[in-house]
Structure 1
Amino acid sequence: MSPTDNTSTRALAALDRLVAAFASNEESTYFGCCAPTARFVFPDTPEVALGVEQYGTLWRGWRSEGWRVDKCVSTERDVLIVGDTAIVTHRVSTTLGDGTELSERETVVFDLATSPHPLVVHEHLSA
């Protein structure tokens, strides 16, 4: 396995960890996959980008309203390695607790230099 293959494998493992954490509905587990300075871009928020604290507040608001994830699946995954950064694109299919099914595209940027595993530094979700 070449170093690039190993790096891509690490990036996809980090994506798997992120998706599983999202599906677990555990705030600390999910945000534990993210660097403290990470930024998040969503199609349905007025802000161009949210910081971790802003997203955490949004997350807690959703949860207080009964929002939860029942299932989350990542497909059509692609990895681009640029230095110590992995840019991962994929389709994410999410089923919410109320039966709503979402099919979205997402780009997740990981810092590969963080230890013990890569951390999210940017996440961009689109319909």
Structure 2
Amino acid sequence: MGTIKISNIRVYAYHGCLVEEGKIGSDYRIDLKVKANLKPSAKSDNLADTVDYVHLNRIVKEEMAIRTKLLETVAKLILDRILLEIPIVNEAKIKVSKLNPPIGGNVEMVSIIMNQKR
């Protein structure tokens, strides 16, 4: 078993419960970790035998582009797609952070963390 991490994926998206958030948008940070059997790819040196992190990044960007009210919802959609589209992934963990959230205070970010196993 091995782990692939992608840290600090930055996207601009329109998630949130407030109408203004859907119009103005906000900056987001996504950290992703997936677990898979990486021994075959270590032996073969073949991209087809591993988890392509370009594919992971594309899933994150595509799902973040679809507006949701809750960070939990978009995180679940990303996890579902990873497990659906990348069969060798056994487990995925995601942290979705909204930077400078509009919560009436000086807050750097709010984050949710979710994980899902096959």
Give the alignment's TM-score, normalised by structure 1. Answer: 0.30
Larger helix share, 1 or 2: 2
Larger strand share, 1 or 2: 1
